Amino acid sequence: MTDLFSKFDALIQQREDLLATGVTDPFSLVMEKVLSPTVAICNGRETILLGTYNYMGMTFDADVIAAGEEALKTFGSGTTGSRVLNGTYQGHKECEEALKDFYAMDHAMVFSTGYQANLGIISTIAGKGDYVILDIDSHASIYDGCKMGDAEIVAFRHNDIEALEKRLKRLPPEAGKLVVLEGVYSMLGDVAPLKEMVRVAKENGAMVLVDEAHSMGFIGEHGRGVAEAQGVIDDVDFIIGTFSKSVGTVGGFCVSNHPKFEILRLVCRPYVFTASLPPSVVATAATSIRKLMHGSNKRAHLWENSKKLHGGLRKLGFQLGTEEPQSAIIAVIMPDLERGAMMWEALLEEGLYVNLARPPATPAGMTLLRCSLCAEHSSEQVDEILARFERAGTRTGIIG
């Protein structure tokens, strides 16, 4: 018998080698208590959270919590059914209305996660004989959506406009084409040149889908994302997003102005063949989305935090993923996985949580300490974060 687990041997060895150095396992941390969007208790210690996707700090918003509690009491703990059978409650429709208002678009479809939104939309609209042209650094859910739909995958170099154009020009003019882009790429926190890429896609007869998971709520005048900030939102055919980041709960969605969009509710398997979100979740999401429409002060404060942290880390001598702050994600590049894990642990001992990211999730085999800021981080917390980075970086020899 072939042990089907033998394919994981290299990964098991890598993990064992890392733990043999005596470092805490960076992938099994427990949040023992969460005190606010920016502070939790980890290993019994009060810890500043700099590795959540809670960009707009909505998880403890009083209105959001009240809406969730009310829906839990009124509609129960779960729907126990698919959106197309017994699983569409008033709350799901209200959530879709909130999304339509937020994006000023005609259609919105709520999924149980953002992962399923990509899986569902991409696999349903791009099938056999069609082409999906995507950035090589695309999220796993985008790749998985392509595989499930059986379209030809054509990858191009990260954020390279010319490479996208070259690939498009080589494809049969009559074939169905979907260009898939992200607003913010979550590993390095860099922004896509959507203005040019959307133009190139349209000139070559392709439809465009933009995943704004890491930009919704924060980037753009109304928080609609990078497509809004770069003035091309009206040319984008589908926007994918998630409730697990700025919205502060769980769930995913697609918004669109396509006149035939609603048919997707009947043919999109990751929408049809799974239970819908619990009533409390859609109530918190709808309340949060409506509040994000009026979040311009929070957006401005988050930009201040991002600039301050980026400038401060660079001054301390850390190597960063982007020259300038482009989003709420600031990636600190580590020399290798071992030293990255050491630095991650040293920061945790200082009372600071960041995300350790390693290949294959990262581009170019990099090990990263990914810092994601929250609009609820105070300016004093950012000062404290920088002081902790300085102490941990000196102690581990990463700087100085």
Interface residue list for ligand PLP (CB under 6 A): 113-115, 118, 139, 141, 182, 186, 211, 213, 242, 244, 252
Q: Which is nearer to ligand PLP, 116 or 396 (CB)?
A: 116
- Tell me the two tokens of residue 343: 């630095």
Q: Which is nearer to ligand PLP, 31 or 175 (CB)?
A: 31
Minimum Å gap between C-beta 193 and ligand PLP is 17
Q: Which is nearer to ligand PLP, 182 or 350 (CB)?
A: 182
- Give, in degrees to the nearest 5, the angle at Cα 177 between 175 and 179: 165
- Tell me the two tokens of residue 309: 């942290």
Q: Which is nearer to ligand PLP, 105 or 213 (CB)?
A: 213
Minimum Å gap between C-beta 399 and ligand PLP is 29
Beta strands 238-242 and 207-211, pairing class:
parallel
* CB count in 10 Å sphere of residue 304: 14
* CB count in 10 Å sphere of residue 203: 11
Cα–Cα nearest to 354, from 64, 32, 24, 52: 52
Minimum Å gap between C-beta 238 and ligand PLP is 13
Minimum Å gap between C-beta 392 and ligand PLP is 26
Beta strands 329-334 and 367-372, pairing class:
antiparallel
Minimum Å gap between C-beta 173 and ligand PLP is 30
Minimum Å gap between C-beta 267 and ligand PLP is 21
Q: Which is nearer to ligand PLP, 277 or 382 (CB)?
A: 277
Minimum Å gap between C-beta 13 and ligand PLP is 27
Q: Which is nearer to ligand PLP, 113 or 230 (CB)?
A: 113
Q: In what order do the strands lie in the sheet with 207-211?
A: 107-111, 252-256, 238-242, 207-211, 177-182, 131-135, 152-156
Q: Which is nearer to ligand PLP, 40 or 240 (CB)?
A: 240
Minimum Å gap between C-beta 259 and ligand PLP is 26
Integer CA distances (angstroms), 262 to 109, 185, 207, in order: 8, 29, 17
Cα–Cα nearest to 85, from 286, 282, 254, 271: 271
Cα–Cα nearest to 90, from 256, 248, 283: 283
Q: Which is nearer to ligand PLP, 134 or 283 (CB)?
A: 134
Q: Which is nearer to ligand PLP, 243 or 318 (CB)?
A: 243
Output phi, psi for 141, to 5 deg: -65, -30
3-state secondary structure of 392: helix
CB proximity list for 389: less than 8 A, separation 6 or greater: 312, 313, 316, 318, 332, 347, 352
Query: How many Å apart are CA 388 and CA 383, to the nearest integer?
Result: 9
391 burial via Cβ count (<10 Å: 0-12, 13-18, 19+): middle
Q: Which residue is nearest to ligand PLP (CB)?
A: 114
Minimum Å gap between C-beta 286 and ligand PLP is 16
